[in-house]
Amino acid sequence: MSEGSSELPFYMRGNHAPVDREVSADSFDVRGQIPEQLNGIYLRNGPNPINGDPGHWFAGDGMIHGVRLEGGEAKSYRNRWVRTRLYEGDETPRVSEEGVVDYTIGHANTNIIGHAGKILALVETGFPTEMTADLDTIGTTDFGGKLNAPFSAHPKICATTGEMLCFGYNFAAPFVVYHQFSPTGELLRSEAIDVPGATMMHDFAITQNHVIFMDLPIVFSLDNLAEQGMPYQWTPEYGARLGVMPRDGSNDDVKWFEIDPCYVFHPMNAYEQQGNIVMDVARYPKLWQAGGNDFDQASLMRWTIDTSGGGVKEEPLDDRSIEFPRIDPRREGLPHRFGYASTTDSSEGITTEHLVKYDLESKTSEIHDFGSGRTPSEAVFVPASADAAEDEGFLLTYVYDADRNSSDFVILDAQNIASEPLAIVPLPQRVPMGFHGNWIPDPN
Ligand SMILES: [Fe+2]
């Protein structure tokens, strides 16, 4: 069947479909001017199944697409599968007959981050996979034998201390484990967190002094695996709660706050304000109610958690369908004025449309429309300099062009998001929509 056949599930069609080649390129017909201060690599991860339909959007083999920028020039593009054990065809079961999980088996398809000089490709079911800057796979890491639980694809790197804070979730107890890393990448401790059941906990948030867990009603269900390709199911009767814990605290210190059933893959950010915790999220009223391809519609919501014992106030900030919320990484866990996201069409899976920039102080927003048939991936904000203003910087993303069935790497001026891009770098092939990426600057 061709890429365009409607008999294929949405994640095997259009720009969700995998590419079948690994490509390297080192010369580009750049339009515009690449900012000279961008020296580093932009890396983006996403599922790119190598052996046909894996049964669910989230289950494909991870592929990284990377662009290196240096001194105002695009130096290279390359895409590489993450050479996981699954990619290599290793058929060892992930869960043994005794129920022991092998966390070195996973697709590494969700995010790619830089921390403490390491580049880590991440998926929430297993250990991180270390990569080189040239996108060669080094292999899974357990941080010197210290990690013995899953590791989320959404660790948070504290902008103030450089610590990495993360968690993992599992279908068997302990269902949630919190991980705290030093700024130099040493796993300092892992702490089991009690929750009532096994839920799909995709992301979490940090503030200056706390972490926030989201225990939401997508609950583990083996029956659902056969029916919908994903062993998790919308179960509103499970309830929904947010857990607030001091960063250095323990399970005994977690305060739980009930909220209405909903699902959140991604917070935009969280911060402390006059004793409360403010958390902006892309909130789905429900998820996967009609099956694993039913994504409903997420919109930007502000939760204000009264940590002195009050409840959680919900305040809609926008009614557009969005996903992939991001902020200036220098504001991680600190008050943010600006946020960025993709507007989405969620009629079938999630397909991005435009980029939106929110000014949450003036309660305004602006759109970048890439043009007819041109759709972005998640956009990553990179500050123009260490002391630049919060929105003084660049938005990096891959943009798919349906007419050419190919993609561009695009740089926008975040302070003038609606304007023409600063630079457009046509790439030698299509970059599928994918999930998450990051800018990894060269060491100073
Ligand atoms: Fe994610």
Contact 213, 204 (CB under 8 A): yes
Half-sphere exposure at residue 245, Cβ-oriented, CA atoms within 13 angstroms: 27
- Residue 327: what pLDDT? 98
**H or E element: which one contains 276?**
strand 276-284
Cα(97) to ligand 1 centroid in Å equals: 30
CA–centroid distance, residue 72 to ligand 1 (Å) = 30
Tell me: pLDDT of 229 over 90: no
- Residue listed under structure tokens 């709660």: 241
Task: Please give the helix or strand (H or E) that residue 222 lies within, else none.
Answer: helix 222-228
How far does residue 91's CA lie from ligand 1's centre (Å)? 26
For the residues 437-442, what does the mean pLDDT come to?
97
Q: Phi and psi of 12, rounded to 5°?
A: -115, 10
What is the pLDDT of the chain when averaged over all its residues? 95
Percent residues over pLDDT 90 in the chain: 88
Residue with tokens 């323990």: 250
CA 312 to centroid of ligand 1, rounded, Å: 23
pLDDT band at 230, cuts 50/70/90?
confident
**Is a pLDDT exceeding 60 seen at residue 323?**
yes
Question: Of 416, 400, 420, which is closest to residue 408 (Cα–Cα)?
Answer: 400
The three-class DSSP label of residue 437 is strand
> Are 167 and 147 a contacting pair, CB within 8 Å?
no
State in Å: Cα 324 to ligand 1 middle: 7
Which position has the higher pLDDT, 310 or 104?
104
Does position 306 have pLDDT exceeding 90, yes or no? yes
pLDDT at 2: 42
Strand partners, 425: 409
Tell me the CA–centroid distance for residue 265 and ligand 1, in Å. 6
Q: What is the pLDDT of residues 181-228, one digit of tens each?
A: 999 999 999 999 999 999 999 999 999 999 999 999 999 987 777 777
Q: State mean pLDDT over 59-87.
A: 97
Binning pLDDT at 50, 70 and 90, where does residue 6 land?
A: low
* Assessment of whether the complete model's pTM goes beyond 0.85: yes
The CA 123 to ligand 1 mean position distance, Å, reads 9
DSSP one-letter string for 288-320: STT-TT-----EEEEEEEETTS--EEEEE---S
- In the predicted model, what is the mean pLDDT of residues 264-273? 98
Task: Determine the distance separating the centroid of ligand 1 and the alpha carbon of 154, expressed in angstroms.
Answer: 7
Q: What angle do CA 396, 402, 403 make, to 5 degrees?
A: 120
Closest to 64 in 3D by CA, of 130, 125, 2:
130
Please give the distance, rounded to the nearest whole angstrom, from the Cα atom of residue 88 to the centre of ligand 1: 24
| pLDDT in the model for residue 134 | 96
pLDDT above 50: residue 13: yes
Give CA–CA dist 418/421, Å, rounded.
Answer: 8
Distance 33 CA to ligand 1 centre (A): 31
List pLDDT tens digits, range 137-170: 999 999 999 999 999 999 999 999 999 999 999 9
CA 79 from centroid of its chain's CA atoms: 18
In the reported structure, the alpha carbon of residue 290 is separated from the centroid of ligand 1 by a whole-number distance in angstroms of 21
Structure tokens at 1: 């069947």
Cα-to-centroid distance, 307 and ligand 1 (Å):
26
> What is the structure's pLDDT at 98?
87
- Determine contact, residues 111/435, Cβ cutoff 8 Å: yes
Q: 264 CA distance to ligand 1 centroid (A)?
A: 10
Rounded mean pLDDT of 104-108?
A: 96
Q: Is pLDDT above 90 for 3? A: no
Token pair of 14 as six digits: 């259009």
Q: If you measure from the C-alpha of residue 22 to the centroid of ligand 1, how many angstroms do you get, rounded to a whole number?
A: 24
Cα of 28 to ligand 1 centre, how many Å? 30
C-alpha of residue 207 to centroid of ligand 1, in Å? 19
Ligand 1 centroid to Cα of residue 279, in Å, is: 16
- Residue written as token pair 């290196």: 68
